[in-house]
């Protein structure tokens, strides 16, 4: 390797195409066999003196972590859209640029959301459990019935890129789509959905509710016992955004009482160890925070992170900077 190549470190092993690019274009230590935590990435930063640090949620950088970064670091590139694990204002205040990987994971997150919607409505977790036990008896006409997805009213909270992509897919199921957002979008971005400025007015109209917004800085959930209670009895809740959006005790109560017929969840308050009470519920279809987990999307995320490093070194604008 040439010593004049840009120096970088990463907290996780990237996909094969990205690792090959690192070998060709950058100077970097060997790929970590297991994800590095914050202490390990800071130690490596002082030892290797990189210009850029690539991280994921495994290595959050907040508070004193940022003060501990060596002066050589000019960019923190997170291989994610979410920024919950970074104190962006503190990084920017130190003169360290920040980038993320928006857009490239929109479609796969929207696809997963549709999977969660269908699986929760059609009782996929319960059917799978029955089959793994050997089935063993035919089902009666009124036994283990799910809910039709086609024609239902879908409410979306958070009409950003992923919310819009979900709305497009929902129209393929002839769904009526409503949305609540901080502001109403231009008609060209609404994807035929109807805007509700008031969440309280929208919720009673939703057979299915899907969350697509960042977590609140103070960690307060948007779905509480009160807001869950505004949904029609027997509705379905889907969350592929952030676990902190839901009061999980209220969720459990709603699923046990029948206020919710089911839920489809990809994210949880305590990851990677979700509340065991949720794990025990039969009417929850669960995935392990894998919204972007396809070869195509994860490769694109890695490449975009490296594009940001290359742009920084070249003195050109970052492809996907985070500015606030």
Active site residues: 242, 271, 289
Cα–Cα distances (Å) from 86 to 106, 227, 290, in that order, read 21, 29, 20
Sign of torsion, CA 174 175 176 181? negative
CB 145 within 8 A of CB 166: no
- Helical residues (DSSP H) of 51-193, grouped into ranges: 64-67, 88-93, 106-121, 124-132, 161-171
3-state secondary structure of 44: helix
Name the DSSP class of 145: -
CB 289 within 8 A of CB 267: yes
* Number of other residues whose CB lies within 10 A of the CB of residue 120: 27
CA distance 271 to 153: 30
Name the DSSP class of 189: G
DSSP string, 204-268: GG-SEEEE-SPPPTT---SB-HHHHHHSPTTEEEEE-S-GGGB-HHHHHHHHHHTSEEEEEES--
Q: Please, what is the angle between helix 124-132 and helix 106-121, to 10°?
A: 70
CA distance 80 to 99: 9
């Amino acid at each position: 390797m040439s010593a004049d190549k840009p120096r970088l470190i990463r907290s996780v092993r990237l996909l094969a195409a990205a690792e090959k690019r690192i070998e060709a274009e950058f100077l970097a230590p060997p790929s970590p066999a297991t994800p590095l935590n914050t202490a390990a990435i800071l130690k490596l930063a002082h030892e290797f003196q990189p210009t850029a640090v690539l991280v994921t949620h495994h290595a959050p950088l907040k508070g004193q972590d940022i003060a501990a970064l060596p002066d050589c670091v000019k960019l923190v590139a997170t291989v994610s859209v979410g920024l919950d694990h970074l104190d962006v204002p503190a990084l920017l205040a130190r003169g360290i640029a920040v980038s993320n990987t928006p857009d490239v994971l929109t479609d796969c997150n929207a696809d997963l959301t549709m999977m969660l919607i269908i699986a929760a409505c059609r009782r996929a977790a319960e059917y799978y459990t029955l089959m793994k036990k050997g089935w063993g008896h035919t089902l009666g006409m009124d036994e283990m019935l799910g809910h039709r997805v086609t024609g239902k009213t879908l409410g979306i909270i958070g009409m950003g890129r992923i919310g819009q992509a979900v709305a497009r897919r929902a129209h393929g199921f002839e769904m009526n789509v409503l949305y609540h957002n901080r502001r109403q979008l231009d008609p060209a971005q609404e994807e035929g959905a109807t805007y509700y400025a008031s969440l309280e007015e929208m919720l009673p109209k939703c057979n299915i509710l899907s969350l697509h917004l960042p977590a609140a800085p103070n960690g307060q959930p948007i779905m509480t016992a009160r807001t869950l209670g505004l949904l029609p009895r027997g509705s379905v809740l889907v969350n592929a955004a952030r676990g902190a959006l839901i009061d999980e005790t209220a969720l459990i109560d709603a699923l046990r009482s029948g206020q919710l017929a089911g839920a489809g969840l990809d994210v949880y308050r305590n990851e990677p160890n979700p509340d065991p009470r949720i794990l025990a519920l039969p009417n929850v279809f669960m995935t392990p925070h894998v919204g972007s987990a396809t070869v195509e999307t994860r490769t694109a995320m890695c490449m975009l992170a490296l594009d940001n490093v290359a742009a920084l070194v070249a003195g050109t604008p970052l492809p996907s900077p985070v500015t606030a």
